[in-house]
Amino acid sequence: MKHPIVALTFLIASQATAEVFTYRVQKGETLSTILYDKLGCQPVYGKNGLIKKVVEMNPFLRQKTGNHVRAGDVLRLNCNCSHADQQFVKEVVTVKEVTPPSRQLSHAILKDHSIEYTYFKMVPHVFWFTVDANYHDQYRVSSLSTVTAASPGLSAEYGLGLGAGSTGELTFFTHIEATQLNFYSDPTITIERLHLIKKTISAGGTYGPFSLTLGFSDKIFLLAPDVTTVRIETAQVPEIKLGYNNTLWQKKNFSLSTGTQLKAFLPRKSGVVETNASLGAEAFVSVKLKNKGVRLFYLYEENRSNVSDTTFSGFGMGLSFETSFLEN
My answer on whether 166 and 259 are in the same domain is yes
Q: Give the model's pLDDT for residue 66.
A: 56
Say which range, 106-120, 253-267, 281-295, has the weakest mean pLDDT. 106-120
Which of 70, 98, 126 terminates a domain? The answer is 98
Has residue 154 been placed in a domain?
yes
CB contact set of 265 (below 8 Å; sequence gap of 6+): 217, 219, 237, 238, 239, 275, 277, 278, 279, 280, 301, 303
Distance in Å from the first CA to the final CA of the chain: 28
Burial of 86 (0-12, 13-18, 19+ CB in 10 A): middle
Has residue 107 been placed in a domain?
no
State the DSSP code for 291. Answer: T
182 or 8, which is more confident? 182
Q: Give the model's pLDDT for residue 92.
A: 41
My answer on whether 198 and 72 are in the same domain is no
My answer on whether 312 and 231 are in the same domain is yes
My answer on whether 121 and 44 are in the same domain is no
My answer on whether 259 and 311 are in the same domain is yes
Has residue 93 been placed in a domain?
yes
- Per-residue pLDDT band for 283 (boundaries 50, 70, 90) equals very high
The segment with the largest mean pLDDT, out of 31-35, 138-142, 293-297, 305-309, is 293-297
Element (H, E) at 221: strand 210-226
Q: Give the model's pLDDT for residue 220.
A: 86
Has residue 103 been placed in a domain?
no
Say which range, 40-49, 293-302, 318-327, has the weakest mean pLDDT. 40-49
The answer, yes or no, to whether residue 305 has pLDDT greater than 80, is yes
Say which range, 107-121, 237-251, 287-301, has the weakest mean pLDDT. 107-121
Has residue 104 been placed in a domain?
no
C-alpha span between 282 and 260 (Å, rounded): 6
CB contact set of 230 (below 8 Å; sequence gap of 6+): 133, 135, 142, 144, 189, 190, 191, 192, 222, 223, 224
The answer, yes or no, to whether residue 15 has pLDDT greater than 80, is no
My answer on whether 139 and 72 are in the same domain is no
Closest CA to 133 of 310, 306, 302, 273: 310
Residues in the chain: 328
C-alpha span between 168 and 111 (Å, rounded): 17
My answer on whether 139 and 278 are in the same domain is yes
- Per-residue pLDDT band for 95 (boundaries 50, 70, 90) equals very low
C-alpha span between 246 and 232 (Å, rounded): 36
**What percent of the chain stands above pLDDT 70?**
74
Has residue 110 been placed in a domain?
no
My answer on whether 70 and 150 are in the same domain is no
C-alpha span between 213 and 54 (Å, rounded): 30
| Torsion over CA: 300, 159, 245, 207 (sign) | negative
Q: Average pLDDT of the chain?
A: 77
Q: List % helix, strand, coil for the chain (3-state, nearest 5).
A: 15, 55, 30
Which of 42, 63, 98 terminates a domain? The answer is 98
Which of 39, 64, 98 terminates a domain? The answer is 98
My answer on whether 187 and 264 are in the same domain is yes
Q: Give the model's pLDDT for residue 56.
A: 77
Single pTM value for the model: 0.63
My answer on whether 166 and 236 are in the same domain is yes
177 neighbors 160 (Cβ within 8 angstroms) = no
195-221 confidence digits (pLDDT tens)? 999 999 999 999 888 999 999 999 888
Closest CA to 301 of 293, 290, 312, 309: 312
The answer, yes or no, to whether residue 11 has pLDDT greater than 60, is no
My answer on whether 149 and 22 are in the same domain is no
Question: Rounded mean pLDDT of 226-252?
Answer: 87
The answer, yes or no, to whether residue 127 has pLDDT greater than 60, is yes
CATH code of the domain containing 179: 2.40.128.100
The answer, yes or no, to whether residue 277 has pLDDT greater than 70, is yes
The answer, yes or no, to whether residue 168 has pLDDT greater than 90, is no
96 neighbors 52 (Cβ within 8 angstroms) = no
Q: Strands 308-326, 210-226: parallel, antiparallel or unpaired by DSSP?
A: unpaired
Has residue 143 been placed in a domain?
yes
Domains: count for the chain: 2
The answer, yes or no, to whether residue 236 has pLDDT greater than 80, is yes
| Torsion over CA: 189, 193, 197, 198 (sign) | negative
- Per-residue pLDDT band for 175 (boundaries 50, 70, 90) equals very high
Has residue 44 been placed in a domain?
yes
My answer on whether 36 and 130 are in the same domain is no
- Per-residue pLDDT band for 19 (boundaries 50, 70, 90) equals low
126 or 100, which is more confident? 126
DSSP 160-184: EEE--GGG--EEEEEEEEEEEEEBP
Q: Which domain holds residue 128?
A: 117-326
DSSP 130-142: EEEEEEE-SS-EE
